[in-house]
Structure 1
Amino acid sequence: MTVRPRFRQVRGRAARALFATGAAALIGTAALAAEPGLTVTDGWLRVIIAGRPAAGYFTVRNDGATPRVLNGARSPACGSLMLHRSTEAGGQERMEMVATATVPAHGTLRFTPGDYHLMCMQPTAAVRPGAKVPVTLTFADGGTVSGNFMVRGAKGQ
């Protein structure tokens, strides 16, 4: 069964939850393909210079009773897609790769400019403003959420 032509096939537990709740898998500001208890919205990538690393942003909501641990992301439009976080200490800004980011039970985690974000290394020609690229977020419990992220320019437009 296919949720929409632009999304991966959803099977088993995820499919039952998707149809039991009547959730829709949409793009842009709406939710990505469902994983039980998780909703990912506002997925987008910012490209500043073609061929250079691009940053990815989104919001993930956990309606479940236990925390969910985001431990990776992948996209065929990126040579690698990593979890990163920007911090500031002593007037110095720093960006570093992180192994995980926890989405609290009944809570939200936002990947935003200046904080958690995805880093798309070795982006393909598909990563250009106005395009949509597939992204899959992976969780430590084996769950995944897949959908298309809109690519925007340097100003986020």
Structure 2
Amino acid sequence: MPGMRLIPVTLLLMAIGIGSADAADVTARDAWIRLLPGNLPAAGYLELDNNGVNSVQLVGMQSARFGAIELHLSSEESGVARMRQVHKLVIPAGKTVELKPRGYHLMLFRSTGDLKPGGQATVTLEFSDGSYLPVNFMLRDATGQ
């Protein structure tokens, strides 16, 4: 029966579609990078809004302006500041996740070229569904200005 053959194909297409459009519902705002003197790693901050109905996961970052970018989480335990790398960040449906000082943030290593406060750098965010979101970050000095 022709209709019966369409059911598995339709189910497969639905399964592929579930989650693949989710990251398209994510927008970024207030993105900025704190530059430090010399070749010290920089830190990136932004807000990610998930306007979709499904959670999405940030799983990677890349930029032509930096040799490597990692996602980190700063915390304080028993009065001792700690920072550790994390490999993904869940952005719940209908919520905003803020990457900020003393919380989740991007660590940007080995800058390429001459980066100066007042300039911009594009960082492309990668999500678990294979989609990408290029984000323009404003460059600020070590004080955040």
Place the TM-score, normalised by the shorter chain, in its bin: 0.7 to 0.9
Q: 1:95 aligns with which of 67, 83, 108?
A: 83
Q: 2:27 aligns with which of 39, 42, 50?
A: 39
How far does the alpha carbon of each residue in 1:111-137 deviate from its partner, in whole angstroms, 9 at most, with x for none? Answer: 001100000011123332111111101
Gap regions ≥5 residues in structure 2: 1-20
Larger radius of gyration: 2
What is the identity percentage for the equivalent residue pairs of Structure 1 and Structure 2? 39
User: In the alignment, what sits opposite 2:7?
Assistant: none
One-letter amino acid of the counterpart of residue 85, structure 1: L
User: In the alignment, what sits opposite 1:122?
Assistant: 110
Distance in 2 separating the partners of 1:63 and 1:123: 32
User: In the alignment, what sits opposite 1:137?
Assistant: 125
TM-score, normalization: structure 1?
Answer: 0.75
Where 1:40 maps in the other structure, the secondary structure is: strand
| 1:106 maps onto 2:89 in alignment | no
Residues 1:53 and 1:154: Cα distance change in structure 2 (over 3 Å): same
Contact 2:27 2:48 in 1 (8 A): yes
Gap regions ≥5 residues in structure 1: 1-16, 18-34
User: In the alignment, what sits opposite 2:17?
Assistant: none
Distance in 2 separating the partners of 1:91 and 1:155: 23
How far does the alpha carbon of each residue in 1:52-101 deviate from its partner, in whole angstroms, 9 at most, with x for none? Answer: 10000000000111101001111111110111110111111011110001
User: In the alignment, what sits opposite 1:70?
Assistant: 58
Name segments (4+ residues, structure 1) moved above 3 Å.
none
User: In the alignment, what sits opposite 2:49?
Assistant: 61
Q: 1:84 aligns with which of 69, 72, 77?
A: 72
Where 2:97 maps in the other structure, the secondary structure is: strand
What is the number of residues matched between the two proteins? Answer: 124
TM-score, normalization: structure 2?
Answer: 0.81
User: In the alignment, what sits opposite 1:52?
Assistant: 40
Contact 2:71 2:107 in 1 (8 A): yes
